[in-house]
Amino acid sequence: MRVTRRALLAGGAAALAPLPAFARDATYPPPDREAMLPVPGGRIYVRVNGDLNGPRPPLVLIHGGPGGTHNAMLDALELADQRAVILYDQLDSGRSDWPQDPANWRVPRFVDELEAIRHGLAVTRWHVCGVSWGGTIALEYAARRPAELVSTILGGPLITTRAWLADADALRAALPPVTRDTLLACESGTPPAASLCEQATEVFYRHYNRREDAPVAMRSTLGRGFDQRLYETMWGKSEFVSTGTLRDYDGTPLLAKLEGKRTLFMVGQYDEARPVTALGFAARVPGGAEVTVIPGAAHGTFSDRPAETIAIVRAWLSRHDTRAL
């Protein structure tokens, strides 16, 4: 199975960055607490590191996909030295229940999972960070303006499918001509051999999805792992054409409902969600949201440049903690 840009099941250690406190190719810290919490449609797996009753609001992280797992967010556990870090697998992913009912595969239901987690863990205030497809969920949740939300981080988010595909087209055009032409041919009525399309797509991924290999622990399978059926139903099979239920998704009207001083767009220098696009979205937020670009990272900022990403997230959270008081 190839890793897609939203699944983000694999990342990699930054070659030039200092390692986090725990070795990335060793075992990540075990959870301090685990639970299977009820959500609309079934139960989801949730793990917590750190003190939920500590002085700083917890951080919940939303993985990509649709169909990915929390594996890609494991480097964020380093933040648990200051606050509780909550990771979870969405329904029909990883260690959560797999009812495989397409009626559950709706954006609002995935957003509702957040409130189910908050109630299940008795959290009164928290920060929310969503990456890729997880950024879509975070956007939708923040637009509801829940009183419990302290701040929002949108990491390489899917805000609108049209913009995402436009970015993909622009990035494909910047690839070496042979790769670019192969990818274009793969979308034609007479595509080349599947192996050639796979090789060309992997070049695209190496440029814009993840530029470093994943640490061993992050590559391990959690539960049933990635849900290909869910991914293809909501997005589709192609990197450059969406045929699933998200094909007409447009979250841009929700940007007007966000609070600029409490919203951060976080993208990689080589992100599939291009920095210039993120800047345009941030400008639509009342008062203007903040934008940070992780040097040297592609779409998987946590996996490509973990130290830099953790430092940026840590500083952002600390700056906004007082809003929870």
Active-site pick, 299, 303, 304, 321: 299
Angle (CA) 285-291-295 rounded to 5° is 160
Tell me the helix, strand and coil percentages in the chain, rounded to 5.
Answer: 40, 15, 45
pLDDT in 10s for each residue of the chain, 325 residues: 234 444 343 333 222 233 344 444 457 899 999 999 999 999 999 999 999 999 999 999 999 999 999 998 999 999 999 999 999 999 999 999 999 999 999 999 999 999 999 999 999 999 999 999 999 999 999 999 999 999 999 999 999 999 999 999 999 999 999 999 999 999 999 999 999 999 999 999 999 999 988 766 665 666 789 999 999 999 998 889 999 999 999 999 999 999 989 999 999 999 999 999 999 999 999 999 999 999 999 999 999 999 999 999 999 999 999 875 5
Whether 127 sits among the annotated catalytic residues: the reply is no
CATH of the domain at 222: 3.40.50.1820
Whether 299 sits among the annotated catalytic residues: the reply is yes
Structure token digits, residue 111: 């957003």
Q: Indicate whether 250 belongs to any domain.
A: yes
Structure token digits, residue 13: 């250690």
DSSP helix/strand/coil, 190: coil
Closest-CA residue to 273 (of 136, 175, 181): 136
Q: Indicate whether 1 belongs to any domain.
A: no
Q: Indicate whether 223 belongs to any domain.
A: yes
Whether 93 sits among the annotated catalytic residues: the reply is no
Active-site pick, 93, 132, 151, 242: 132
What is the distance in angstroms between the CA of the first residue and the CA of the last residue of the chain?
46
Q: Are strands 59-62 and 263-268 parallel, antiparallel or unpaired?
A: unpaired
Q: What is the pLDDT of residue 239?
A: 85
Q: If residue 35 lies in a helix (H) or strand (E), which one and from where to where? A: strand 33-39
Q: Indicate whether 51 belongs to any domain.
A: yes
Q: Indicate whether 84 belongs to any domain.
A: yes
What is the distance between the alpha carbons of residues 180 and 262, in angstroms, rounded to a whole number? 39
pTM of the entire predicted model: 0.92
- 234-264 residue pLDDT tens: 999 888 999 999 999 999 999 999 998 999 9
Q: Indicate whether 87 belongs to any domain.
A: yes
Structure token digits, residue 99: 């009812």
Active-site pick, 271, 303, 304, 321: 271
Residue range(s) defining the domain that contains residue 115: 33-169+213-324
Q: What is the pLDDT of residue 76?
A: 96
Q: What is the pLDDT of residue 4?
A: 44
What is the distance between the alpha carbons of residues 266 and 273, in angstroms, rounded to a whole number? 10
Q: Indicate whether 236 belongs to any domain.
A: yes
Q: What is the pLDDT of residue 18?
A: 36
Q: What is the pLDDT of residue 220?
A: 60
Q: Indicate whether 13 belongs to any domain.
A: no
Q: How many domains does the chain have?
A: 1
Structure token digits, residue 180: 């670019």
Task: State the DSSP string of 67-94.
Answer: T--GGGGGGGGGGGGTS-EEEEPPTTST
Q: What is the pLDDT of residue 27?
A: 74
